[in-house]
């Protein structure tokens, strides 16, 4: 939880920093430059975006006396659509899939029966509407959605899985490194808090964005 609070504070600091930069730009820069840096597009568009990157999961497995291995580094992929508005903020919706963690626990014989090695895998689907905005070259985003956590096991040759659907909060801060016409490329740091399940992770994504079509004049 301490990490979560620190992370939230970091995100707010980053948002404030970005805001400060944008504010400074709006005060000090001439009108033509302001338009270039504070990247509100001339017209609205439907944007498709996809991201991919590694994840680092926080938290620890239970019962360390049984746990023999634990891998907290995984991968996440995301596909989404955003309404890239010429005005104010951009709503978006995205679906992502991630393999978050894997582990092994060696159980002795006990009240559960014969001992053996328990293979554990944690994956998550995340369906998440949210809002984002271009502020100079930064692109913060905030999303609230639902996760489908998939917990899988294999023990003594028997495979099983179970799902859970907690709520998700995502905070991200992207930085635009390439912008050419209809196509953009961002690097983004993102925190994903699946608080109902206490599954929290950070990602470092590469995001490719492109305008599918323009709306209005």
Partner 1 sequence: MNSKNALLIAAATVLLQCEQSDELTIPQFPDGGLLRSGQLLSRDQLLMFEGMYTVPQGVPLFGEQVAVRTSPGTVSVLSEKNAGFSVLGAACMPDRRVVVEGYWQYPMLLDAGLVRLFVGPSEFSDALCDGETPDPDTSFELDGHFGSDSEFPRQPLTLRWSRQLKPWRDRFFTVAHHGACENTDHCGAAPNSLESIRLAERVGSNAAELDVRITRDGIPILFHDPGLSRTLVRGTFCNGQVADLSLAELMGSCELRYGELIPTVEQTLDMMVNETEMEGVYLDMKVPGAVLPTSRLVVKLMAELEARNTNSDPSDDRKFGALVAITTDEVLAAWHETKAQLTKEGLPIPPCLAEKDAETVIAEGCVAWGPTWTKGPQADKVQLARAAGAGTIFWTINQSEFINEFLTVAQPDGIISARAALLFYRYQTIGTPPPIRPMP
Give the interface with partner 1 as residue ranges (CB under 8 A): 1, 5, 8-9, 11-12, 15-16, 18-19, 22-23, 26, 57, 59-63, 66-67, 70, 72, 88-89, 101, 103, 105, 107, 110-113, 116, 118, 120, 122, 131, 133, 135, 140, 142, 149, 151, 153, 155-156, 158, 160-164, 169, 171, 195-199
Q: How many residues does the chain have?
A: 217
Comparing CB distances to partner 1, the nearer of 160 and 180 is 160
- Closest approach, Cβ 197 to partner 1, in A, equals 5
Cα–Cα distance, 144 to 193 (Å, whole number): 10
- Closest approach, Cβ 89 to partner 1, in A, equals 5
Cα–Cα distance, 162 to 153 (Å, whole number): 9
Comparing CB distances to partner 1, the nearer of 32 and 62 is 62
- Closest approach, Cβ 182 to partner 1, in A, equals 23
Comparing CB distances to partner 1, the nearer of 5 and 180 is 5
Decide if 86 contacts 41 (C-beta within 8 A): yes
Q: For residue 152, list its beta bridge partners.
A: 121, 161
Cα–Cα distance, 98 to 104 (Å, whole number): 19
């Amino acid at each position: 939880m301490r990490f979560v609070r620190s992370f939230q504070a970091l995100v707010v600091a980053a948002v404030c920093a970005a805001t400060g930069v944008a504010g400074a730009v709006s005060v000090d820069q001439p009108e033509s430059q302001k338009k270039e840096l504070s990247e509100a597009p001339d017209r609205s568009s439907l944007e498709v975006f996809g991201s991919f990157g590694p994840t680092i999961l926080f938290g620890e497995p239970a019962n360390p006396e049984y746990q023999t291995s634990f891998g907290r580094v995984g991968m996440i992929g995301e596909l989404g659509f955003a309404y890239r508005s010429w005005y104010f903020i951009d709503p978006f919706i995205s679906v992502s899939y991630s393999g978050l963690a894997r582990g092994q626990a060696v159980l002795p014989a006990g009240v559960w029966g014969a001992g053996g090695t328990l293979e554990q895998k944690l994956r998550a689907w995340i369906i998440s509407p949210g809002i984002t905005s271009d502020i100079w070259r930064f692109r913060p985003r905030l999303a609230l959605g639902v996760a489908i956590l998939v917990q899988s096991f294999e023990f003594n040759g028997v495979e099983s899985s179970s799902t859970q659907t907690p709520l998700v909060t995502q905070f991200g801060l992207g930085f635009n490194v390439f912008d050419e016409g209809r196509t953009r490329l961002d690097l983004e740091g993102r925190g994903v808090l699946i608080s109902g399940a206490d599954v929290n992770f950070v990602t470092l994504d590469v995001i490719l964005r492109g305008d599918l079509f323009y709306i209005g004049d």
